[in-house]
Copies of this chain bind each other. A is one copy, B any other.
Amino acid sequence: MHMSKRRAAVAGASGYAGGEVLRLLLSHPDVEIGAVTAGSNAGERLGVLQPHLVPLADRVLEDTTPETLAGHDVVFLGLPHGQSAVIANALPEETVVIDCGADFRLTDSAAWEKFYGGEHAGSWPYGLPELDGQRDKLAHATRIAVPGCYPTVSTLALAPAVAAGIIDATGIVVVAASGTSGAGKAPKPHLLGSEVMGSASAYGVGGTHRHTPEIVQNLSGLTDAEVRLSFTPLLVPMPRGILATCSAPTTVTAEEAYATYEKAFADEPFVHLLPAGVWPQTKSVIGSNAIHVQVTVDEDAGRLVAVAAVDNLAKGTGGAAVQCMNLALGLDETAGLSTVGIAP
């Protein structure tokens, strides 16, 4: 028996997260695209704002309101910080609402206030199925917070080591090089092509980036030990992709570390532990929901080093959102998603 298609709305369809959700839904076997909405871009055609989405070229963006988003099985929110709660509260409880923003990711109000400021809206089930026990919590959830892009790649790069207790979690260092789309589509001078091409830069240094407490929250859930993290994001000249270099003190060997990761990721459809000796490159995961991981141990330094690559807009945002939708709607977790990247 052929199941009728589920109907999805996308709010914030003119942005990068919304555009990526639409791109993925266009090839999803079980979903049809309903309302596509925007803020200041309402009234414009997608053919002008997202010209890569050819089948939607004639769609006109509606206003983002509870009314335009009503009547869908699932609603994806790709909104500026702080705007998700109002919309979500106005939608029926049984509607699956998947928030690509940060509003509902943190469970700790103090952390929220320190890093984001303002009142904490609360927390929703966290959309990282690869975290221990999380897949079950997402099945049939109706409110889901999609993880941040840095937290996804950093957490998965370190989770096996933290969970297995083979690193000293008080000495974690993550340096993550990101493409520019993670900063969104709102034009700012330092994100101009003229500024970013040919340049690498650091920002949010010294533990100030908002994704820091989210990574700590994720890793702390895997261990009773204290987690201390030095996180530095870099901006590098590419539109998509994050490469996270993660290390922590260890006493195990490279072989033990690799075996730990192999076991941890054995059944994960989207986490790909590379053959020993092959190190991740972001190009391999562009457009896909895969995350590539490699791990070794530097015995001179006494540190485990794990490197992971992800497409920040796909598995880092839009792909994760679709993966969570699949779980929430009881579909095949991998439906409409792929592990095949676009290279070169």
CB distance from A208 to the nearest CB of B (A): 8
With A177-B234, A197-B237 known as contacts, the answer to whether A281 contacts B51 (CB < 8 A) is yes
Report yes or no: A232 in contact with B171, Cβ–Cβ below 8 A.
Answer: no
Q: Is A143 an interface residue (CB 8 A)?
A: no
Q: Is A275 an interface residue (CB 8 A)?
A: yes
Q: Is A142 an interface residue (CB 8 A)?
A: no
With A19-B343, A54-B272, A201-B279 known as contacts, the answer to whether A243 contacts B237 (CB < 8 A) is no
Distance of A198 Cα from B243 Cα, bound (Å): 12
Q: Is A341 an interface residue (CB 8 A)?
A: yes
How many of these chains are in the complex? Answer: 4
CB distance from A207 to the nearest CB of B (A): 4
Report yes or no: B238 in contact with A207, Cβ–Cβ below 8 A.
Answer: no
Q: CB within 8 Å of B: which of A221-235?
A: 228-232, 234
Report the interface size for chain A: residues with CB under 8 A from the other chain. Answer: 98
Q: Is A27 an interface residue (CB 8 A)?
A: yes
Partner of A288, one of B52, B300, B339, B343: B52
Determine, out of A82-90, A180-188, A259-267, the stretch whose residues face the partner at the interface: A180-188
Report yes or no: B298 in contact with A230, Cβ–Cβ below 8 A.
Answer: yes
Q: Mark A263-297, 1 if CB is under 8 A from B, else 0.
A: 00000000010110011111111111010101011
Distance of A175 Cα from B313 Cα, bound (Å): 24
CB distance from A13 to the nearest CB of B (A): 14
Distance of A54 Cα from B294 Cα, bound (Å): 14
A212 contacts which chain B residues (CB < 8 A)?
300
9 other A-B residue contacts (CB within 8 Å) besides A55-B340, A181-B194, A200-B238: A52-B286, A180-B197, A185-B194, A185-B344, A192-B192, A194-B344, A197-B198, A202-B280, A228-B300
